[in-house]
Amino acid sequence: MNFVNKTITQFLIFAVNLFAQQYLSEQMKIADSLFSAEKYFDAITEYKRLLYFDSTKQFSFQANLKIGLSYKEGGKLSESIKYFTLAEINAANSKQLFESKIYQVRSNILRRTTARADKILDELESDNRLTEFKREIKYWRAWNKIFSDEWEEASKLFSQLNETKLAELCLNTHNKLYSVDFAKYSSMILPGIGQFYTGEYLSGLISLAWNLFSGYVTINAFNSDRVFDGIITANLLWFRFYRGNFQNAEKFAKEKNLLITNQTLQFLNDRFDGLKP
């Protein structure tokens, strides 16, 4: 009798486990089909339902990774990083570990937390289990340099990977950029030079004219022994135009650089067919 009871109990446990396994597999298929149909937020709901019932955590890596990808597609990058991290915790092998961490890198690149992306890339590079992924690590480091506005460094890394088109694009962007320091400090030496450098000729002429006029009025006041008038003019008029001159030159350089980099990023988004963050 005990043998019969034991056999029945084992059969029932087996049946329950089999049913649970089939249910979880079906749930995964439902979630995957929604993901494939680009119904990302519906997919998230189904993946979370799967995780709730998956007591053995056999689907934890896949479900968390897909939730992260769904949030990434929806532009919710902080949420995506959270679930990519959970996928990393549940990674069963080096390939899964690399995949979950590189998606963390890609999400950090997109939200411009580039220092965090660099730190994760350093961790990947120093992990002896991941030596087969060295090329991919360097590739995403180059992309991270793009979003850090280090275009020349990005070009060098892409060149090392024989990614010629990306290397040339980054170098061309770097060569188009204005030197913010030159625009600012040259205008300190001679007002208007920074504006001329950035192509803002009218602003440069106005800055030069106002500074010359203010300087003339100030010097003339001192030469006429109107010391108080000279001090007031120097502080309220000349210094104001002088400071505004180099501040404007710096602002123009930054604005032009932002326009140049945004044009390149837009081109990469619309026209580049390779792997992107």
Residue ranges per structural domain of the chain: 2-138, 180-268
pTM score: 0.80
* pLDDT for residue 195: 76
pLDDT at 265 over 60: yes
pLDDT at 227 over 50: no
pLDDT at 60 over 80: yes
CA–CA dist 180, 198 (Å, integer): 10
The share of the chain scoring above pLDDT 70, in percent, equals: 74
Pick from 28, 265, 6: nearest CA to 148 = 265
Domain 2-138: homologous superfamily in CATH: Tetratricopeptide repeat domain (1.25.40.10)
* pLDDT for residue 244: 62
Check residue 93 and report its DSSP letter: S
* pLDDT for residue 230: 43
pLDDT at 30 over 90: no
Of 66-80, 126-140, 198-212, 231-245, the range with the lowest mean pLDDT is 231-245
Contact call for residues 138 and 118 (beta carbons, < 8 A): no
pLDDT, mean over the chain: 81
Tell me which residue has tokens 């990808």. 69
